[in-house]
Chains A and B, each alone.
Chain A
Amino acid sequence: MKLGLPARNPKPTPPPPPLSASLWLLATAAVTLGPHAVTHLPAWLSAACVLALIWRAWALRTGAPRSHALLVMLLACVAALAIRLHYGHFFGKDPGVALLALLLCLKQHEIASSRDIRAAVLLAFFLQLGLFFYDQSLPVAALALTGTLLATVSLLALQTDRFRPTASLRLGGLMLVQAIPFLLVLFVLFPRIPGPLWGLPADAHTGMTGLSDNMSPGSISQLGLSEAIAFRAEFSGTPPSPPQRYWRGPVLTDFDGRTWRAATVGSDAQPSVVVAGPAHSYRLTIEPHNQRWLLALEHPVSADATVRFARDQQLLATTPLRSRTRIEIVSHPEAVAGLSESRAVLERALRLPSGSSPRAVATGAEIGRNSATPVATLQAVLDHIAGLGLTYTLRPPLLGENTVDEFLYTTQLGFCEHFASSFTVLARAAGLPARVVTGYQGGEINPVDGVMVVRQSDAHAWAEVWLPERGWQRVDPTALAAPSRIESGLAASLPSGDPLPLFARPAMRWLRDMRHRWEALSNAWNQTVIGFSAGDQRRLLERLGFSEPDWKALTGLLGTLSVALMLGLFAWAMRQRARRDPLDGTWQAFCNKFARKGCPRLPWEGPMDYAERLAGRYPRQAPMLRAIARTYARLRYGRASSRHDAEIRELRTRVRQLRID
């Protein structure tokens, strides 16, 4: 017998999300993960993510059924295992972000309801934030913002069954614009954490380029083609002329015949130079290079941050530079360094490796014997080098065992490190204490914002010679072969046919112009947004009258301001609504009047129903209330009359004059 029982209902499943939401979520994932893939994800993981997203796009396009939950689960487990194997651990930001990136891709295949889309969007928001663990530059911020907009549109797509992309994009953009006041409040008030954004020591700082603490033939010419910015300098007065732009970096004293290395010297809290002459005051913004040295014009005498002054006149930070660092420096170009240099230092600056480059050592020794004074010796060494007819090139031939001999007397083609190294060897052989100094020479002033930009291609090596009574004196032997290198930069001094950095080529004028603008913009971003430090925050708050703000005061201020902003936005929205139409405003005023008496209009209540309800409560005003409601209803829903505006004014007067008792 068949019983007429209703079929057993399966557990009710929520309706699937609209296709448009799934598509926008897919785009969100692509835009969010793209920069991750470029900056840090291992290639195999990027490929897996791309495959997962393409698979999802295909499934959405063909309307294929949702992938089996077990399959997705299995893929997630395999991928997690692979990530564990790749990084060796699960702790720290790299494996964490990699895992989340992968889960965002796999989550796409698990979407069955609106709830899943919301969860995936939250994950995407977090990964957009995670971009800043790796890169805080303007393009990445723009990409993160685009991702945020797409994610917002994905959420909007859930809210409507008639999805229009342009309208939703506009609405999403408007919502982000409305968030700007909150962004500003958070930016200014959120407590700053010192150190890198995601301070995990194991994997935080790797792969930075720049000078190193040793120099061998070829190590600086490698940098010659790099357009990366080493640091920027903003001068408060006139910047020094191009030939004076010597930015001192690591000082190299020890030589083994091929490689120059820095000697270990002590450092003090005060500079060891004798101050003389005028000063340059400037603010340096150094890109991170994971080493302690700073760069400064000769010779730094004071700096605003905690720095150390090494006894070889290097300026050192107290910790390696792991993030972009700003520092105010005052330098005196005419200051005298090393007047009372210790005997040990001078002896070390005379040491030569035994048996290396015998011809140069012999020549130097002969020059030393034939000269009467140290100054004459120096001049004789320089004359000797100038007399050899050496050529300056970015592509020097490889050198063998006796690097100095081969360069001076055989190949005669070299870059600045060859000149500096050879000169120092000759000078030492002639009995002059000498050392190699590396750093940057030059710098270009960006016409857009007037900031001097120094690039890796400006890296340079020169020498210093110690003369009695005069201390350490800078000697740049490169100038002997290529004086224009010092006067007008690398491009002018290389023989034609040598490869040049792209932007240094004369034909690339417009490109250079664009780069100037872009770099000025990035610098402004770095200085004002990224560089907004705990100190800046404190100074700003103190100017606003908050002395000694601690985190409690900040949190309180943050909360208060957020609430105030919310209320402000709310009031603005209410005003906008009322202002849209004078008739609406009048009716709103009528309703508000009774709402204040504890009898608000219910949202779904029409005008006549509301008036009837009010009439029951205020019988003495009943005729007036009904008349107002009737007039409003006619004006709002009835035939448009020629006296429309006048009638609205009359109605407004009646509402205003209405007294409730």
Chain B
Amino acid sequence: MLHIPANRLLDAASSIILGKREELRLALTCLIARGHLLIEDVPGVGKTTLAHTLASLTGMQFQRVQFTSDLLPADIVGVSIFDRETSAFRFHPGPIFAQLILADEVNRATPKTQSALLEAMEEHQVTTDGQTYPLPDPFFVIATQNPASQIGTFPLPESQLDRFLMRIRLGYPGAEAERALLMGEDRRILLERVDPVVGSGDLAQLQQSARQVIVSERLVEYVQTLLSASRQDGELAGGLSPRAGLGLLAAARAWAMMDGRDHVLPEDVQAVFPYVAGHRLHMTGDGRPASAATIQRLLHSVPVR
């Protein structure tokens, strides 16, 4: 069965990151749907651990980039250096040439650096000095943002936010999970002992299978109505783009597959909708990101037929 490796991954991840099964499932969905993930939360709730865990469990090559205001594009994509022996420029690949990249506090870097990352995410390749270098496959970016401290940051513009398939929040752990966390071993040490649950070939196959999950005509109608409702909603400024619609379907497919189904249900769409739509919708008037209540209301305004 298709979903067994995916569920093994989820079970293993949940044993490391406690009490966050739902968030982990969303992160895995994002990975399987071949999208990139934005995590917005305060420091210390396990964003880095989550990225580490996913990398260890899938055997993906991992790189972490801490974004700062003086980070340059070349610090990410790499730089060509003149090699005296060969009398030629040699390209030194940057950290982006890894399979899983954690872009920590992405909003601290200047827009120029941000866009270097986001372009690479979109195009799956890097172009420098007229030379194009393909990025590895699978290629998964987890970017984090700290919403609390906004001084000296460059918030990602809406057009860039659209590049992330999902945005999730981790939040503080529940009392029981926190207790286990405090009493148990250090997660970092735990992680070093973890063996990959699936191989990178398995992951590619999971991604391939997710793309074959059936989307019926009736479901497309439902998604279309949902998109159109987001565009006509009086509280929202602008609606969801066709790219958002494609992302919504890709995420719903992966979500359905993790449930062991070969077809997408409206429930799957509803499950991923808040995370796919949340960072793409803004309120009219002050332009704040759409509130969870608004998104829920939007979902409830579209009947399932």
Residues of chain A having any CB pair with chain B under 8 Å: 6, 9, 12, 161, 584, 602-609, 633-634, 636-639
Contact = CB atoms under 8 A, between A and B. Distances in A.
Contact of A639 (B218, B262, B266): B262
B263 A12 contact: no
Nearest to B226: A604
Contacts of A607: 265-267, 304
A9 B285 contact: yes
Interface string B178-214: 0000000000000000000000000000000000001
Of listed A604, A605, A606, residue having the most chain B CB within 10 A? A604
Interface stretch (B10-18, B108-116, B295-303): B295-303
Given A12-B285, A606-B267, A637 B304 contact: no
Interface in B249-305: 261-267, 270, 284-286, 299-305
A604 B302 contact: yes
Given A9-B285, A639-B214, A606 B266 contact: yes
A162 to B, nearest CB: 9
Nearest to B219: A637
B80 interface: no
A69 B170 CA distance: 54
Given A161-B232, A609-B267, A604 B214 contact: no
A605 B270 CA distance: 9
A246 B263 CA distance: 86
Given A637-B216, A638-B261, 15 more contacts: A584-B305, A602-B300, A603-B303, A604-B299, A604-B300, A604-B301, A604-B303, A604-B304, A607-B265, A607-B304, A608-B265, A609-B270, A638-B216, A638-B262, A638-B263
Contact of B304 (A161, A603, A638): A603
Contact of B265 (A12, A603, A637): A637
Contacts of A6: 286
A605 B300 CA distance: 8
A357 B265 CA distance: 105
Q: Sort A-B residue pairs by CB-CB distance and give the 4 closest, nearest first.
A: A603-B303, A606-B266, A638-B263, A606-B267
Of listed B216, B232, B285, residue having the most chain A CB within 10 A? B216
Nearest to B228: A161
A415 B267 CA distance: 90
B231 interface: yes
Contacts of A636: 216, 218
A604 B300 CA distance: 5
A466 B20 CA distance: 118
Nearest to B299: A604
A607 B216 CA distance: 15
A545 B297 CA distance: 53
Interface string B129-142: 00000000000000
A316 to B, nearest CB: 67
A180 B214 CA distance: 45
Interface of B: 214, 216, 218-219, 228, 231-232, 261-267, 270, 284-286, 299-305
Given A6-B286, A9-B285, A161-B232, A639 B263 contact: yes
B28 to A, nearest CB: 20
B214 A637 contact: yes
A9 B237 CA distance: 15
Contact of B267 (A584, A608, A638, A639): A608
A161 B284 CA distance: 19
Contacts of B299: 604
A609 B259 CA distance: 14
A609 to B, nearest CB: 5
14 contacts: A12-B284, A161-B232, A602-B300, A603-B303, A603-B304, A604-B301, A604-B304, A605-B304, A606-B266, A633-B265, A636-B218, A637-B216, A637-B265, A637-B266
B253 to A, nearest CB: 12
B241 to A, nearest CB: 15
Nearest to A612: B267
B264 A637 contact: yes
Given A6-B286, A9-B285, A637 B263 contact: yes
B302 to A, nearest CB: 6
A638 B213 CA distance: 9
Contacts of A639: 214, 262-263
B198 to A, nearest CB: 26
Contacts of A12: 284-285
Contacts of A584: 305
Contacts of B270: 604, 606, 609
A606 B219 CA distance: 11
Nearest to A605: B304
Of listed B228, B302, B305, residue having the most chain A CB within 10 A? B305
A586 to B, nearest CB: 14
Contacts of B216: 636-638
A306 B218 CA distance: 69
Contact of B214 (A9, A603, A609, A638): A638
Nearest to B268: A606
B202 to A, nearest CB: 24
A608 to B, nearest CB: 5
A633 B219 CA distance: 11
Contacts of B303: 603-604
B299 to A, nearest CB: 6
Contacts of B301: 604
A636 B266 CA distance: 11
Contacts of A637: 214, 216, 218-219, 263-266
Contacts of A602: 300
Of listed A603, A606, A607, residue having the most chain B CB within 10 A? A606
A640 to B, nearest CB: 9
A609 B267 CA distance: 7
Contacts of B218: 636-637
Contacts of B266: 606-607, 637
Of listed B232, B265, B285, residue having the most chain A CB within 10 A? B265
Of listed A605, A606, A633, A637, residue having the most chain B CB within 10 A? A637
B261 to A, nearest CB: 8
A341 B189 CA distance: 136
A633 B259 CA distance: 14
Contacts of B286: 6, 9
Of listed A6, A12, A638, residue having the most chain B CB within 10 A? A638
Contacts of B263: 633-634, 637-639
A109 B304 CA distance: 41
A577 to B, nearest CB: 9
B293 to A, nearest CB: 15
A639 B263 CA distance: 7
Contact of A606 (B232, B261, B265, B300): B265
A566 B20 CA distance: 53
Contacts of A638: 214, 216, 261-263
Contacts of A634: 263
Nearest to A162: B228
Nearest to B215: A637
A638 B303 CA distance: 19
Contacts of B304: 603-607
Contacts of A603: 300, 303-304
A607 B266 CA distance: 8
A602 B299 CA distance: 12
Contacts of A609: 267, 270
Contacts of B264: 637
A388 to B, nearest CB: 88
A110 B266 CA distance: 44
Contacts of A161: 228, 231-232
A603 B303 CA distance: 5
